[in-house]
A and B are shown apart, each in its own frame.
Chain A
C-alpha cells in the first residue's frame, strides 16, 4: 500500500429529493506513472490508483478508469442525483490491490 493515502470528499449535508448535487473528491497518492527514473537512471515502477467509483445507496453514480496520466493526488468533481436520504460510498482501487473507501451521509430536507 502506498503510504499516507487519505481520501477526502466534499458532499452537501442535505438536499431536496431529486436534487442534483456536486461532489468533490481528493485522495493523497503519489500516482507513480512508471515513466520517471530514479537518480541511478532506472525506471521507478508504476504504482497508481487505477479506478474510482461513487455509489449512492448501492446505485452507481460514476465509475472512472484511471491511467498514469492522472495527476498526483487524484481529484474528481462530478454531479449526483439524490432521490432519497442515504449514503454515498466512494472507493478507490490501487494497483497493489488495496482499496480505500469513504462514506458520507446526506439528508433530505
Chain B
C-alpha cells in the first residue's frame, strides 16, 4: 500500500521554488519594510520596493499558510513599490522575493515580533 504524502500547505521553499523556477536569489535588489514589533498580528503594515521588478512575492514563514500576496506590476506602474496590511500568526520571518526584469531574483527577509497572533486560532 502506498500512501501519497498529503500536504495542505506548500512550504516556504516550495513556494519560492515555484515562483523562481529554482533560480538563485540575490541578497540585494528588494527592500522589505515591516515593523520590528507588531502589537496586533491581525494587521501588520508591510511595504515592498524593488526597482526593476516585474513581480514581488510576499510570504510569512510562520503562518498556517505561508503565502501572503503576489504583486505584479503592469506597464503603467509608477514604481515597483506596494504597501498593504497582513496577518501574522505569531513572531516570525516575513520574506519578499522579487522577480527582476533582467530575469534574476532577489530576496529580503525581516523578523517581526508579534504580541497578539492574528489567525484567531
Q: Which residues of A contact B (CB under 8 A)?
A: 20-22, 33, 35-37, 55-56, 59-72, 74-83
Cβ–Cβ contact B74 & A62, under 8 A:
yes
B contact face: mostly helix, strand, loop, or mixed: strand
A contact face: mostly helix, strand, loop, or mixed: strand
Cα of A69 to Cα of B42 in the assembled complex, Å: 9
Cα of A36 to Cα of B64 in the assembled complex, Å: 11
Cβ–Cβ contact A35 & B82, under 8 A:
no
Count contacts on B: residues with CB < 8 A to the other chain.
33
Cβ–Cβ contact B81 & A69, under 8 A:
no
Q: Given contacts A35-B121, A62-B74, A71-B85, list 6 more A-B pairs with CB under 8 A.
A: A33-B119, A36-B120, A63-B74, A64-B72, A70-B69, A80-B77
Total number of A-B contacts with CB less than 8 angstroms?
A: 112
Q: Which residues of B contact A55 (CB under 8 A)?
A: 74, 76
Q: Which residues of B contact A70 (CB under 8 A)?
A: 68-69, 84-87
Cβ–Cβ contact B75 & A75, under 8 A:
no
CB distance from B19 to the nearest CB of A (A): 11
Picked from B60, B76, B82, B121, the residue with its CB within 8 Å of the CB of A81 is: B76
